[in-house]
Structure 1
Amino acid sequence: MEQNACGKSLASEEEFKQSSQSASTKRIWKNLLVLSSIWLVNWTAYRAIESLQSTLNSEAGLGVVSLSCVFGGMALSCLYAPLFIHKVGSCKWTIVVCLFGHILYTGSNFYPSWFTLIPSSILLGLISGPVWTAQITYLTSSAQEYAKVAQQGSPEGAISKFNGVFYLIYDLSGVSGNLISSLVLSEGRQDIGKGEFCGAMDCGTETNWTSDYDVTNSSTSSVRSNNTTGLPDDKQQVIVYTLLGVFLACNIFAVLIAWLCLDKDVKNLEKTSVEKIQVSQLLLRTVRVFKDIDYVLLMPLLVIIGMSEALVAGDFTKSYVSCVLGVQMVGYAMLCFSVIGSVCSPLFGHLSKYTGTRTLILAAVAANVVLLIYMLLWQPDEDSLARILSVSGGWGVIRAVWHTQLYTVLGATFPSNQEAVFANTKLTQSLGNTMVFAYSSVLCMDVKLYLYMAVLALGTLGYGALEWKTRKMNNTEADTLDRTVDQGKDRDSALETLELMERETSL
């Protein structure tokens, strides 16, 4: 009877443990899907507006200037992102608060001017660092908790898998946003954006953007001065307002999802129970990341993430897509880029468990070099649609590797200082974006590709040095452990010999 009772007790404890583990893993997966859905809904609006800025607000370059303000503010905001998260209290509430900046930015596009769009763009940049840092920290912490609950040992595989799922869903925002962009632009002229010299030969001249539309001295709104659809001005404005209304609804819905469905992160709950960290310590922790040799070695590849996104969104679409096919095809090319990236993100997240992170990163570097050489040698024409979509898809594959694998390397290399590291990561990426946009209008396409190739080579050398340093450190630790074990065996053997001698002496 006692044995049966004991057996039933052990069985019930085991069942309780399994059910508790199942509930924990379900909660973690639920939060991952909620976090991904927030980014899908909110960035559907932002990425669509971003792609339309140069068209809707082209007067005096207002749209381009506003995007520069966003990226400039993002670079600055990454420095105080950990402090911002600490003051708000958790990653969840940081996300909720920062999403209101997107609502204001979308709202300012209803009445765009230097006094409405520029301040909202600066504000959007200033909250971009904290919201992205909170997202990466929340996701990495969830992956580490999942690996602990599931008893997987190293959390690297879980981090890679979670990044893959997140970017699968997040990249769908590019699908919806660019689809909206193409549908809008398809209502207008079919030759806008075409030029005489395309591909690597493009130096930013001879395009039809303003050949028939003088927008420099317009006293009316940019929507009215760029009416290329043949519709009455008021009808065109209604269409634009309808689109912006949909985008604004997306922003508000994203805030509601974050507020009502996202759990408060465990990591920050634990942080509030210990002694409070001084503000100066948080700032120093963020700045000191740049002194860490491991982070310095990874910086060029992190810059490449920003450069690749800006190169595709700005230079590839202008010199290889609209230059030969017209601006109405830009959205479809970016649609291909987003779809391929969405499909490959979870694939690489799962594949890294078998191939390792190093193999995927080196394969992406090799593929990127091949793609750059092809873009230098290839001269696109009106019959190049299939090749244009293939190149766009190739960039989507490379982007999926950068996001899933480099964030995995960062999470595994800096497990105890994630907020500061991920804040500096977004800062470094935004510097890559800003750099490409800064020289985009003054350099020829072939020079831009050579510059990208140089930074990629530097990043590959840095990553190789980090791998060599890590392997050497692991070998040193293994040798130290072996010597310790051998010394322990020698001590045991000496003790046994001493005991034997003492027994023989006593006899």
Structure 2
Amino acid sequence: MGAKDNDGSSEFGNVSKEAEATLVDENQTKSTMSNRKVYKNLLLVTAAFLLNMGSYMTLEGLQSSLNADAGTTSVAAVYTAFVLTSFFLPSLAMEFLKSRKAMVFGTIPYALYSVANCFPQPYTLIPAGILLGAGASVVWSANRVYISDISATYARRNNRDEGKTTSHFYGIFWAIFSTALIIGNVISSGVLQAFAVQPDAAVGTAVSNATAAYEAEYTTAAMQIDPYRLNEIKGCALHNCDVTPDNSTSASNDAKTELNPAVLYILFGSFAAIQFGSAMLLLFFADEAPDRPPVRTEAKKMIWKSSDQEKVVENESGDAADATVTQRVTKQMLATAKFLVQNHSAKALIPITIHVGVLQGYAFGQFTKYWVTCVIGIEFVGYVASMFGIGSTLGGYGSGYLAQHAGRFVIMVVAWFVEMALMVFLLIWEPEVGEKALFFITFAVFGILHATYKTILTTATTLFFSSTKEAASASLSIWDPLGSAIAYAISTTACNRIYTICMMVLVTIGTLLYLLIERNYKRSEKAKGDAIDT
């Protein structure tokens, strides 16, 4: 290495000594992290995310049942802060901390949010939610960079294709991470069910009294209880806005009276300890990802790796002209804004992308509170919500496989039919305690639909906008969490019947626009193929 030919050029070609030294340094990164350490760090990061996000997602699913207005508002604050800080905070954090320590920095607010739930007031939950959203933007961006860097190191060390190696490493991460929602929710429901207590008669509400009176009346008369009337009295399912003489408030709002407060403190404290432990796992046991040094070429260009994209900057003097963080963030924001303003196809995908976030918020905000908690009890929320994780796994793998055979167009049409059937079912279903299986199946369908939309949209975005992938990806990361923020913001005031109908309208508009863009894309690809043939 470094031997020169007779013409004075090195084995790297006709480049300067400085460029050769840089390239040599880059090749030397092959030895900075062994294959064993690469996999160790991948599994450590995956385990940390499994522990942290498993705790948070379980807590998010309980917010609408446990903390009513303050809880759902705090979750809306999480997603809003995530969107707003994604433009600048990840770049700043990784500029000064690098990816590993940035993940540690971003994980701490998750633990603070769990602690805030021990004192569930708007002035504790909402600020904690804002901090969590900011931390989430950092932790997910740093995660992408970290896994990308260690996979690149592994690929260079073993002379493998970097793209395929990165996909393989992400596959390992998501396969393990997808169990987070299942494990966390099952544990929380087990704890709540084991320690749940019946509300004391002295603190019984008008709703519970009216319910008991209604049940007693029909039991005495040896008649079957009408689930419609019972749900109307309790304000369950689609009846959250129904006003009757016997019902001035929803029984689901009093879910906390059925739980020992000490149990909640133990549960939230355990979540906080697990999340803090996951941060320490990254801080003390994970290694820093090898740097990707700048590479100078004969044309005097500098290439560096940012959080989401590879940028090339002309450097006429040959010196490393480092762009400031502000300049990079500004450039990224302007590129995304320009992409959204000038690209009509991108604007056409906004409704379906927002719908993906709204769908998740509807499932974890409305369904867990007004269907699960109100009818069968808060101790079943975790068990039912775990089906979202199972459905997501099936939907993600299933849609990816079917897309290769049936195509994205067909999958989106089928997904639309399935969601319309689900919404119609929710409009006519009067849930009863004895129908627990339907709660589980319904939530699994939510998970399948959510993962299907995410998979198709992520794949389609990289294809539809191949020349502007970074801006398209940034756009996708804006509208999805924005949809969740909207869903949680209106969850306590929206009437479920109207909400469900609006969901049907939104998914219909979004699907039609997506299919239009898909058709135009296929036509353009066919035209390109015909042009090549001729």
- The two structures share one fold, judged by TM-score above 0.5: yes
1:41 corresponds to? 51
User: Which of 272, 275, 283 lines up with 1:248 in the alignment?
Assistant: 272
Describe the shift of the 1:399–1:170 C-alpha distance in structure 2 as closer, same or farther (beyond 3 A).
Answer: farther
Report if aligned partners of 1:73, 1:126 keep a CA contact under 8 Å in 2.
yes
Report if aligned partners of 1:140, 1:411 keep a CA contact under 8 Å in 2.
no
TM-score by length of 1: 0.72
Deviations 1:193-252 (Å, cap 9, x if unpaired)? 9862243444366432456x9xxxxxxxxxxxx5534x6xxxx43x43432332123223
Q: More deviation in 266-275 or 387-396?
A: 266-275
Report if aligned partners of 2:355, 2:507 keep a CA contact under 8 Å in 1.
yes
Deviations 1:179-200 (Å, cap 9, x if unpaired)? 2332343233468998622434
Deviations 1:16-51 (Å, cap 9, x if unpaired)? xxxx9xx99999877765554333111122123323
| 2:350 pairs with 1:342 | no
Describe the shift of the 1:111–1:449 C-alpha distance in structure 2 as closer, same or farther (beyond 3 A).
Answer: closer
2:258 corresponds to? 228
Aligned partner letter, 1:203: C
Supply the distance in 2 between the matched residues of 1:455 and 1:30 (Cα, whole angstroms). Answer: 44
Matches within 5 A, 1:301-450: 301-414=352-465, 418=469, 420-450=471-501
Describe the shift of the 1:144–1:443 C-alpha distance in structure 2 as closer, same or farther (beyond 3 A).
Answer: farther
Aligned partner letter, 1:251: Q
Describe the shift of the 1:79–1:293 C-alpha distance in structure 2 as closer, same or farther (beyond 3 A).
Answer: farther
Q: Per chain length, whose mean CA-contact separation is higher, i.e. which structure has more relative contact order (CA < 8 Å, sep 6+)?
A: 1
Distance apart, 1:75 and its partner CA: 2.7
User: Which of 195, 199, 203 lines up with 2:237 in the alignment?
Assistant: 199
Secondary structure of the 2:289 match is coil
Distance apart, 1:348 and its partner CA: 3.8
Secondary structure of the 2:433 match is coil
Aligned partner letter, 1:249: A
Aligned partner letter, 1:293: H
| 2:335 pairs with 1:285 | yes
2:196 corresponds to? 188
Supply the distance in 2 between the matched residues of 1:67 and 1:116 (Cα, whole angstroms). Answer: 12
User: Which of 154, 172, 186 lines up with 2:179 in the alignment?
Assistant: 172
Supply the distance in 2 between the matched residues of 1:336 and 1:33 (Cα, whole angstroms). Answer: 25
Aligned partner letter, 2:366: D
Distance apart, 1:312 and its partner CA: 0.7
Report if aligned partners of 1:90, 1:265 keep a CA contact under 8 Å in 2.
no
| 2:72 pairs with 1:64 | yes
Report if aligned partners of 1:91, 1:135 keep a CA contact under 8 Å in 2.
yes
Report if aligned partners of 2:252, 2:373 keep a CA contact under 8 Å in 1.
no
Supply the distance in 2 between the matched residues of 1:322 and 1:169 (Cα, whole angstroms). Answer: 29
Distance apart, 1:162 and its partner CA: 7.0
User: Which of 185, 208, 211 lines up with 2:251 in the alignment?
Assistant: 208
1:271 corresponds to? 304
User: Which of 290, 296, 302 lines up with 2:347 in the alignment?
Assistant: 296
Distance apart, 1:88 and its partner CA: 4.7
Say how many residue pairs are matched: 438
Supply the distance in 1 between the matched residues of 2:35 and 2:277 (Cα, whole angstroms). Answer: 26
1:74 corresponds to? 82
Q: How big is the alpha-carbon RMSD for the aligned residues of Structure 1 and Structure 2?
A: 4.0
Aligned partner letter, 1:123: L
Describe the shift of the 1:24–1:416 C-alpha distance in structure 2 as closer, same or farther (beyond 3 A).
Answer: farther
Aligned partner letter, 1:449: T
Supply the distance in 2 between the matched residues of 1:27 and 1:257 (Cα, whole angstroms). Answer: 15
Distance apart, 1:350 and its partner CA: 4.4
Q: More deviation in 281-290 or 269-278?
A: 269-278
Query: Which runs of 5 or more residues in structure 1 are unaligned?
Result: 1-19, 214-225, 484-507
Describe the shift of the 1:87–1:34 C-alpha distance in structure 2 as closer, same or farther (beyond 3 A).
Answer: same
Describe the shift of the 1:29–1:325 C-alpha distance in structure 2 as closer, same or farther (beyond 3 A).
Answer: same
Report if aligned partners of 2:251, 2:374 keep a CA contact under 8 Å in 1.
no
Distance apart, 1:427 and its partner CA: 2.1
Report if aligned partners of 1:321, 1:327 keep a CA contact under 8 Å in 2.
yes
Report if aligned partners of 2:76, 2:484 keep a CA contact under 8 Å in 1.
no
Supply the distance in 2 between the matched residues of 1:306 and 1:387 (Cα, whole angstroms). Answer: 23
Secondary structure of the 2:87 match is helix
Describe the shift of the 1:111–1:444 C-alpha distance in structure 2 as closer, same or farther (beyond 3 A).
Answer: closer
Distance apart, 1:372 and its partner CA: 1.6
Describe the shift of the 1:450–1:48 C-alpha distance in structure 2 as closer, same or farther (beyond 3 A).
Answer: same
Distance apart, 1:394 and its partner CA: 1.2
Deviations 1:330-366 (Å, cap 9, x if unpaired)? 2221122222323443344445444444443333222
Describe the shift of the 1:373–1:33 C-alpha distance in structure 2 as closer, same or farther (beyond 3 A).
Answer: farther
Supply the distance in 1 between the matched residues of 2:377 and 2:57 (Cα, whole angstroms). Answer: 20
TM-score by length of 2: 0.69
Aligned partner letter, 1:247: F
Aligned partner letter, 2:80: G
Q: More deviation in 91-100 or 381-390?
A: 91-100
Identity over aligned pairs, percent = 25
1:97 corresponds to? 105
Query: Which has a greater percent of helix?
Result: 1
Secondary structure of the 2:430 match is coil
1:494 corresponds to? none
Report if aligned partners of 1:90, 1:268 keep a CA contact under 8 Å in 2.
no
1:496 corresponds to? none
User: Which of 446, 453, 465 lines up with 2:504 in the alignment?
Assistant: 453
Describe the shift of the 1:469–1:321 C-alpha distance in structure 2 as closer, same or farther (beyond 3 A).
Answer: same
Supply the distance in 2 between the matched residues of 1:356 and 1:158 (Cα, whole angstroms). Answer: 25
Matches within 5 A, 1:8-27: none
Q: More deviation in 285-294 or 80-89?
A: 80-89
2:216 corresponds to? none
Supply the distance in 1 between the matched residues of 2:111 and 2:392 (Cα, whole angstroms). Answer: 27
Secondary structure of the 1:271 match is strand
Describe the shift of the 1:199–1:246 C-alpha distance in structure 2 as closer, same or farther (beyond 3 A).
Answer: closer
